[in-house]
Chain A
Amino acid sequence: MNVGIAQGERNPNSSWLNSRGVWLTYIILLFVLHFILLSIPYITTPVAWTLTTTIHNICSFYLFHLVKGAPWETSDQGRARRFTFWEQIDNGVQWTGTRKFLQILPIILFFIASFYTKYDRTHFVINLATMLLAVVPKFPIFFGVRLFDINRY
Chain B
Amino acid sequence: MGSSANQDNVASLATDFYSLLESFKETPFYHLLFEIFLVLTVLWLILFRKPRRIEKKLTEKEKQELIDEWQPEPLVPPVDANHPALNVRVLDGIVGKTIEIDGKKSLNFATFNFLNFVGNPRIADKAIQAVQKYGVGSCGPRGFYGTIDIHLELEERLAHFFNCEEGIIYSYGFSTVASIIPAYSKRNDILFVDEGVHYAIQKGVEASRSTVKWFRHNDISDLERLLAEQDIHDKKNPKKARTLRRFLIIEGLYMNYGDLCPLPRMVELKYQYKYRIFMDESVSFGTIGQTGRGVTEYYNIDRRKIDLISSSLEYSVGSIGGFAVGSSFVVDHQRLSAQGYCFSASLPPLLAAAAIEALNIMEEKDTTLCDTLMEKSKRLHRKLLDIKGYLIVGEDISPLKHLRLTNSQNTVARLEEIVEFAQTRGITITVARYLNDEHHLPEPSIRLILNVEMTDEELEFLCTVLQEARVKVTV
Contact = CB atoms under 8 A, between A and B. Distances in A.
B45 interface: yes
B41 interface: yes
B209 interface: yes
Contacts of A100: 45-46, 49
B329 interface: no
B337 A73 contact: yes
A78 B31 contact: no
A114 B52 contact: no
Interface size class of A (residues with CB under 8 A): 20 to 34
B159 to A, nearest CB: 24
Given A100-B49, A118-B23, A81 B38 contact: no
Interface in B1-39: 19-20, 23-24, 26-28, 31, 34-35, 38
Contacts of B187: 77-79, 81
Nearest to A103: B45
A22 B45 CA distance: 20
A93 B141 CA distance: 35
A152 B45 contact: no
Nearest to B21: A115
Interface stretch (A9-17, A28-36, A104-112): A104-112
A107 B186 contact: no
Interface stretch (B94-102, B194-202, B239-247, B353-361): B239-247
Interface in A107-132: 107-108, 110-111, 114-116, 118-119, 121, 124, 128
Contact of A93 (B46, B52, B240): B52
A116 B188 contact: no
B51 A107 contact: no
B15 to A, nearest CB: 13
Interface in B334-352: 336-337
Contacts of B23: 118-119
Given A79-B187, A95-B51, A119-B27, A107 B41 contact: yes
B52 A81 contact: no
B51 A96 contact: yes
A81 B210 CA distance: 13
Nearest to B38: A107
A60 interface: no
Interface string B305-319: 000000000000000
A153 B50 contact: no
Contacts of A128: 34
Contacts of A121: 28
A111 B38 contact: yes
B186 A94 contact: no
A82 interface: yes
Nearest to B187: A78
Given A73-B337, A119-B27, A119-B31, A153 B242 contact: yes
Contact of B208 (A77, A95, A103, A110): A77
Nearest to B240: A153
Nearest to A82: B188
B361 to A, nearest CB: 39
Main secondary structure of the interface of A (DSSP, over half): helix
B186 A115 contact: no
B182 A104 contact: no
Contacts of A124: 31
A107 B42 contact: yes
Contacts of A78: 186-189, 209
B203 to A, nearest CB: 14
A115 B186 CA distance: 50
Contacts of A110: 38
B182 to A, nearest CB: 6
A72 B431 CA distance: 47
A117 to B, nearest CB: 9
- Central interface residue in B188, B237, B336, B337, by most chain A CB within 10 Å: B188
Contacts of B35: 111, 114
A149 to B, nearest CB: 8
Contacts of A118: 19-20, 23
Contact of B28 (A96, A103, A119): A119
Contacts of A103: 45
Contact of A81 (B54, B188, B242): B188
Contact of B51 (A82, A93, A116): A93
B252 to A, nearest CB: 27
A73 B208 CA distance: 15
Interface in B440-474: none
A30 B221 CA distance: 62
Given A108-B42, A115-B20, A152-B240, 12 more contacts: A73-B337, A77-B207, A77-B208, A78-B209, A81-B186, A81-B188, A93-B52, A96-B51, A100-B49, A111-B38, A119-B27, A119-B28
14 contacts: A77-B207, A78-B186, A82-B188, A93-B51, A95-B52, A100-B45, A100-B46, A103-B45, A107-B42, A114-B35, A119-B26, A121-B28, A152-B240, A153-B240
Interface of A: 73, 77-79, 81-82, 90, 93-96, 100, 103-104, 107-108, 110-111, 114-116, 118-119, 121, 124, 128, 149, 152-153
Q: Which 9 A-B pairs have the closest CB atoms?
A: A78-B186, A118-B23, A95-B49, A78-B187, A153-B240, A77-B209, A119-B27, A96-B51, A153-B243
